[in-house]
Amino acid sequence: MSNGMLPDYVSMAKPNPAENRAPWYKNTAPTYAGIFLWFVFWSQAPSGGGSGAPGGVLGQGIGVALLGLVVAALLCHFLFYLVPGLLGMKTGLPLYVIGTSTYGAQGGFLMPGFLMGVLQFGWLGVNSYFASLALAPLFGGSAAAAKIIAVLWAIVAAFVGLKGIQYVAKVATLLPLIPLVILLIMVFKALGGIGDFNADALVTAGAVEGGATSGLSFFGVMALSISFVVGFFATAGAAGVDFGMNSKDEKDVQMGGLFGVALAAIVAAGAAILIAAGAFGATGKYAMNPADAGFIGDLMGSTGAGKAMALLLAVAAFPPACFSAFIAANSFKTTLPKVNPFISVGIGTAVSIILAVTGWAGRAGDVFTVIGASFGPVCGAMMVDYLMAGKKWAGPRAGWNLAGWISWVVGFIVGIAPLVGLANIPAAPLVAFIVGAVLYYALAKAGLESKVLEMAAAPAQSAPQEAPPAEESTGG
């Protein structure tokens, strides 16, 4: 097929040359780690994302809670991040081009392309909202002050994200040290109570608090951990393509994920779980949000310290805001190549601001479920597509690739089922991934994959170890 049949956002895409790439510890790892160190993530680890189950993930004890976390973190790396990262590294192309193999050159504009960017502006709104609430007390604590902070927060984060991953990584290098230090301080303070922690007593206290009658089983804890962590990470996993296109080789992809994804998730959420357990063991007070100023104040024995540390956590939430803006900017730059990115990203940022200042962004309780349902089947189908093509990118497919779209629709329904009351599916984001993968394979074998279209210069299916000659720098 001629290149004229390809949309502009595909035909105009240029692979990232080798000289623009950097080691994993300069881009992938610090940026991903900054996401997991965001207090909105780890503060919900003990409760499993506000599940309402008495005792949350601690209902079967500290060991089971940590085991569930480790399993979930490894699933994030090996199932949701690794293949997208390798695809980006081997081609040098962003997610919104790579996705045209799974969803078609026309369908890829919507999934995972344009909608991925739109969703990130929702995340930016959530980030701006919660950060503004925490910072507002510094400026009188009024509602007006919070709204002004939210506006400025969103604008600056969008600007940094628009400039590119190298700027996001610079911001993410130091600020994540703040929540890391705070977590370590709180772990140290909570250590004395860990030995007195009793899971049954926690469940009983939680049952009285929330009105439920019992805690989760072993498998219930495992499923909750997977749902919470994988649901939070799903979009960032697919965005591994954009990180991979900045990686030099397969080792960089692997190391960036092992340290920035798996280890960072285990350290951040694991610390929060230990803190919640130790605080309960020491005080007997049922509290499951280690980032709450009151929780921190009780643990530290100082109300002032609690407020100060909560404010510092809000400041450290800036790198995740930049990450969301970066992903959104990549989406719009790629799917709308003829539109000035300052205009497209500016419009998206305006939407984020509206979500934040109206308070709509504060209703984020079910966000992780929606994300896991949306991108679980995306990552599953992409993995199968990659493996069936011989561990490489197959290239853009014509129109709307039915194998991808059918697998996504069914996977999304499975993933969203617990939220809308259709069915109680344990570890729904993981099940959505499996459904997407299995269905894509079956439908592809049944002949429902559309044919591959030619590109002007097919990208090389491996990342060079060093910068190539100038005539090869585009990967053609």
Q: What is the DSSP track for 331-394? A: HHHHHSTTS-HHHHHHHHHHHHHHHHHHTGGG--TTHHHHHHHHHHHHHHHHHHHHHHTTSS--
87 in Cβ contact with 98 (< 8 Å): yes
d(Cα 2, Cα 294) in Å, to the nearest integer?
63
Residue 317: which residues within 8 A CB-CB, separation 6 or more?
38, 39, 40, 127, 130, 131
* Per-residue pLDDT at 213 exceeds 70: no
Burial category of 142 from C-beta neighbours within 10 Å (exposed 0-12, middle 13-18, buried 19 and up): exposed
Q: Phi and psi dihedrals of 452, rounded to 5?
A: -80, 135
437 in Cβ contact with 421 (< 8 Å): no
Domain 30-368 has CATH 2.40.30.10: no
Which DSSP category does 47 fall into?
T
* Per-residue pLDDT at 201 exceeds 70: yes
- State the pLDDT at residue 36: 92
Least confident of 55-64, 120-129, 274-283: 120-129
Rounded percentage of the chain residues whose pLDDT exceeds 70: 91
Over residues 256-284, the mean pLDDT reads: 96
Over residues 216-239, the mean pLDDT reads: 94
User: What is the length of the chain?
Assistant: 476
**Given CA atoms 8, 9, 14, 20 in this order, what sign does their dihedral have?**
positive
Q: Phi and psi dihedrals of 136, rounded to 5?
A: -55, -35
- State the pLDDT at residue 364: 59
117 in Cβ contact with 348 (< 8 Å): yes
CA 333-243-411 angle, 5° bins: 85
* Per-residue pLDDT at 416 exceeds 70: yes
Per the structure block, which two tokens stand in for 38?
């965001």
Name which of 274, 267, 311 is nearest 290 in CA terms.
274
* Per-residue pLDDT at 233 exceeds 80: yes
- State the pLDDT at residue 475: 31
Report for 50-54, 368-372, 446-450: range of highest mean pLDDT: 446-450
d(Cα 295, Cα 279) in Å, to the nearest integer?
9
6 in Cβ contact with 452 (< 8 Å): no
Half-sphere exposure (Cβ direction) of 298: Cα atoms closer than 13 Å = 18
Per the structure block, which two tokens stand in for 381?
């189908």
Which DSSP category does 188 fall into?
H
d(Cα 380, Cα 403) in Å, to the nearest integer?
12
Per the structure block, which two tokens stand in for 162?
């628009």
Per the structure block, which two tokens stand in for 340?
């000035």
- State the pLDDT at residue 111: 86
> Considering just the CA atoms, what is the radius of gyration of the chain in Å?
22
- State the pLDDT at residue 210: 56
Rounded to the nearest integer, the mean pLDDT of the chain is 87
Over residues 7-27, the mean pLDDT reads: 88
127 in Cβ contact with 421 (< 8 Å): no
d(Cα 79, Cα 336) in Å, to the nearest integer?
29
Over residues 380-392, the mean pLDDT reads: 97
Distances in Å between the alpha carbon of 153 and those of 18, 136, 141, 317, 400?
A: 33, 12, 16, 10, 38
319 in Cβ contact with 305 (< 8 Å): no
- State the pLDDT at residue 388: 97
d(Cα 80, Cα 6) in Å, to the nearest integer?
28
Per the structure block, which two tokens stand in for 188?
């140290």
Residue 181: which residues within 8 A CB-CB, separation 6 or more?
none
Name which of 175, 164, 240, 184 is nearest 34 in CA terms.
175
d(Cα 371, Cα 234) in Å, to the nearest integer?
6
Burial category of 446 from C-beta neighbours within 10 Å (exposed 0-12, middle 13-18, buried 19 and up): exposed
72 in Cβ contact with 237 (< 8 Å): no
* Coil, strand or helix at 397: strand
Over residues 145-150, the mean pLDDT reads: 92
42 in Cβ contact with 291 (< 8 Å): yes
d(Cα 383, Cα 381) in Å, to the nearest integer?
5
d(Cα 170, Cα 325) in Å, to the nearest integer?
15
* Per-residue pLDDT at 337 exceeds 70: yes
d(Cα 373, Cα 363) in Å, to the nearest integer?
18
- State the pLDDT at residue 467: 36
